[in-house]
Amino acid sequence: MEIHVNGWPTIERQLQRMDKRQGEIAQLLGMTPAAVSQVKKGCFLLNPRQLEKIAIFLRFDEDMRSEFYSELFNARLVCREPPIAESARESGHYRVCLSTRGAVRRKRRSEIPMADIALLAGYDPSLEPLAEYLLRNSPERKNDAISGIDVCALRVGIGDSDTGLPADSLIIIEGGRYPESGTLNFVALRDGRCLLREFHPEGERIRLASVLRDSGEDFVWYRDGSPGPVSWMHPVLEVTVRPPR
């Protein structure tokens, strides 16, 4: 999948299939043709409502929507500043699913505990694993192809904007594993906020890097014995981004 912060390869393919022109996208969004050319170059980001307008206009089916939003999400993870350089670094790929039937179609599926992020306010990692806490305190279960010890799903709420994801998005994490260098992690801070950050141990320094545009600052602290800002964090296995309503 070619990465682009506005999903332009998918847009362009569908324009060709439907025998439409780039100028029609400009009219749809109320932009000048020159502005759309800047969007195509990745010089600035389309917002969620503009993206959804395009998806409706180009009649994306379920698979195309999934491809479109996957391209967007992965591109915005790896690209810090537009325009996109072809030499952008490698990153883990996170599939974005817009179907209510689940993220990835596989034969073997299992139930994993699921809850709103708000439920984590009562969680103490020193007392029990995260998955056990969710099993005990939430009646919800997600039937999913991803399974394993301590795998669980967290739903983003309206007040969870610090994650950088829209409400009703799902984050599947592996609560029984520690983060590895360069991986995307779900991070619970001591001040109560929950974020998505890349984990970068750098000698005596630890850095949690912001991965989504406008999702907040990086966090840096040193291994000098004083407590850092993090209460706990675990690796992200999959992200399901829900489109705006």
pLDDT tens readout for residues 51-78: 888 989 999 887 788 778 877 777 776 6
Q: Could you read off the pLDDT of 162-180 as tens digits, one per residue?
A: 888 888 888 999 888 888 8
Cα Dmax for the chain = 63
Evaluate whether 218 touches 146 at the Cβ level (below 8 Å): no
* ∠ Cα 232 116 168 (to 5°): 115
State the average pLDDT for the chain.
79
Closest CA to 196 of 77, 69, 46, 72: 77
Task: Give the integer Cα–Cα distance in Å for 168 and 244.
Answer: 10
Strand partners, 174: 151
| Full DSSP string of 67-136 | HHHHHHHHHHHH-SSSSPPTTPPP---------TT-SS--S--EEEEEEEGGGGGG--TTTS-HHHHHHH
- Residue from 171, 214, 174 nearest 194 by CA: 171
- The one-letter code for the residue type at 134 is L
pLDDT, position 71: 77
pTM of the model: 0.59
Ranges of the chain with pLDDT below 70: 1-3, 77-109, 145-149, 213-215, 243-245
How far is Cα 112 from Cα 99, in angstroms, rounded to an integer?
18
| Residue 139 near residue 116, CB atoms below 8 Å | no
Report how far residue 233's alpha carbon sits from residue 187's, in angstroms, rounded to the nearest whole number: 4
Q: Which domains does the chain have, with CATH numbers?
A: 8-78 (1.10.260), 110-240 (2.10.109.10)
Q: Strands 170-174 and 230-240, how do they pair?
A: antiparallel
C-beta of residue 182 within 8 angstroms of C-beta of residue 211:
no
Contact 94, 184 (CB under 8 A): yes
